[in-house]
């Protein structure tokens, strides 16, 4: 028996733990500024829109970059003692004001902190990264799901007001009520058949009037079905108490 055969075979541990998760990357793209020298209104309009999209994406990318430099202390590798010194140098060399740099930093920090929530609602640079600095303030007032739905759907002005606790203004309704009839613009919204019996007609007119008045005032009409008039009267009393309680907390 040889010496080699006496040696124990060493087990090689399997270090493969599956495919690596791909890195989260922002979409990239190029946009041309040649439209600035054009006289074609459609070319200019398209160029402006593409540039706005590019600017938004650039702001988000710069914010994420700044946030990573701060969080990982990468400013040290760039030979700066602190993030403040790095920002100071950046401002001097690029002629950017300090408030813009800090705002981009805050955008990046917010995006990285709430990336999962933002991706869940489909938030992208097209939705406006400049809304992100208001997220933390909004979270102090509203539930998380409402905040991220709002940051996706609202304009910058609307979301800034939302974050302060302001209710969004209700758009004027095209529905209006006059003389016991409901109109949409200048036309009657509903016309009931003349052959209806008086009781049915009065009931339907009441329902239509309630719906029209709710739409006219920007309120919400909730419809439910009840067993009989006795149940309706009990439901109405309970509903009135609940409305007072809810509005007292608003």
Structure tokens at 245: 């309680």
Interatomic CA distance for residues 127 and 12, integer angstroms: 51
One domain for residues 190 and 232: yes
pLDDT tens-digit profile of 198-207?
A: 888 777 777 7
Does the pLDDT value for residue 92 go beyond 80?
A: yes
User: Is 28 within the bounds of a domain?
Assistant: no
What is the pLDDT averaged over residues 128-145?
Answer: 91
pLDDT at position 105 is 93
One domain for residues 104 and 148: yes
Interatomic CA distance for residues 107 and 118, integer angstroms: 13
One domain for residues 118 and 236: no
Do 173 and 212 contact (CB within 8 A), yes or no?
no
Question: What is this structure's pTM?
Answer: 0.55
3-class DSSP assignment, residue 30: coil
Structure tokens at 78: 């760039």
One domain for residues 104 and 215: no
User: Is 111 within the bounds of a domain?
Assistant: yes
What is the pLDDT averaged over residues 8-28?
Answer: 51
Pick from 135, 137, 130: which is nearest to 149 by CA?
135
What is the pLDDT averaged over residues 80-88?
Answer: 92
Interatomic CA distance for residues 173 and 229, integer angstroms: 32
Q: Which of these three, 163, 189, 212, is where a domain ends?
A: 163
pLDDT at position 100 is 87
Interatomic CA distance for residues 23 and 238, integer angstroms: 54
One domain for residues 149 and 186: no
What is the pLDDT averaged over residues 11-19?
Answer: 48
One domain for residues 43 and 153: yes
Does the pLDDT value for residue 170 go beyond 80?
A: no
pLDDT at position 30 is 59
One domain for residues 139 and 45: yes
- Please give the tally of structural domains in the chain: 2
Pairing of the two strands 187-188 and 181-184:
antiparallel
Interatomic CA distance for residues 238 and 212, integer angstroms: 24
What is the pLDDT averaged over residues 168-195?
Answer: 64
One domain for residues 233 and 118: no
pLDDT at position 174 is 62
Q: How confident is the model at residue 3 (pLDDT cuts 50, 70, 90)?
A: low
One domain for residues 192 and 215: yes
Percentages helix, strand, coil for the chain (3-state, rounded to 5) are 60, 5, 40
| Backbone dihedral angles phi then psi of residue 158, each to the nearest 5 degrees | -65, -45
pLDDT at position 65 is 94
One domain for residues 67 and 139: yes
* 88 or 179: which leads in pLDDT: 88
One domain for residues 66 and 138: yes
Does the pLDDT value for residue 37 go beyond 60?
A: yes
One domain for residues 159 and 181: no
Q: Which of these three, 137, 163, 189, is where a domain ends?
A: 163
* 37 or 91: which leads in pLDDT: 91
User: Is 59 within the bounds of a domain?
Assistant: yes
pLDDT tens-digit profile of 230-246?
A: 888 888 888 888 877 77
Q: Which of these three, 163, 190, 209, is where a domain ends?
A: 163
What is the pLDDT averaged over residues 188-213?
Answer: 77
What is the pLDDT averaged over residues 121-144?
Answer: 89
DSSP-assigned letters across all residues of 110-149: HHHHTHHHHHHTT--GGG-GGGGGGHHHHHTTS-HHHHHH
Q: How confident is the model at residue 48 (pLDDT cuts 50, 70, 90)?
A: confident
Does the pLDDT value for residue 250 go beyond 50?
A: no
Q: Where are the alpha helices (DSSP H) in the chain?
A: 3-6, 41-71, 83-94, 98-113, 115-120, 135-139, 144-153, 156-163, 198-217, 229-249
The mean pLDDT of the chain is: 78
User: Is 203 within the bounds of a domain?
Assistant: yes
Range of the domain at 54: 34-163
pLDDT at position 75 is 92
């Amino acid at each position: 028996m040889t010496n080699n055969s006496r040696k124990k075979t060493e087990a090689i541990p399997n270090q493969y733990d599956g495919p690596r998760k791909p890195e989260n990357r922002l979409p990239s793209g190029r946009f041309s500024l040649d439209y600035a020298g054009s006289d074609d209104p459609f070319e200019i309009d398209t160029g402006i829109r593409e540039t706005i999209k590019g600017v938004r994406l650039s702001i988000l990318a710069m914010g994420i970059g700044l946030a990573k430099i701060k969080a990982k202390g990468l400013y040290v590798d760039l030979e700066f003692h602190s993030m403040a010194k790095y920002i100071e140098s950046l401002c001097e060399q690029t002629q950017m004001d300090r408030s813009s740099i800090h705002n981009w930093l805050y955008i990046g920090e917010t995006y990285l902190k709430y990336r999962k929530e933002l991706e869940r609602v489909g938030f992208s640079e097209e939705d406006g990264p400049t809304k992100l600095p208001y997220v933390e303030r909004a979270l102090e007032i509203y539930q998380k799901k409402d905040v991220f739905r709002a940051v996706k759907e609202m304009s910058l002005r609307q979301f800034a007001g939302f974050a302060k606790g302001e209710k969004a203004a209700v758009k004027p309704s095209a529905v209006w009520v006059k003389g016991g009839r409901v109109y949409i613009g200048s036309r009657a919204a509903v016309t009931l058949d003349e052959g209806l019996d008086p009781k049915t007609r009065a009931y339907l007119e009441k329902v239509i009037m309630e719906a029209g008045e709710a739409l006219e005032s920007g309120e919400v009409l909730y419809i439910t079905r009840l067993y009989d008039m006795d149940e309706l009267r009990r439901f109405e009393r309970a509903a009135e108490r609940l409305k007072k309680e809810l509005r007292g907390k608003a």
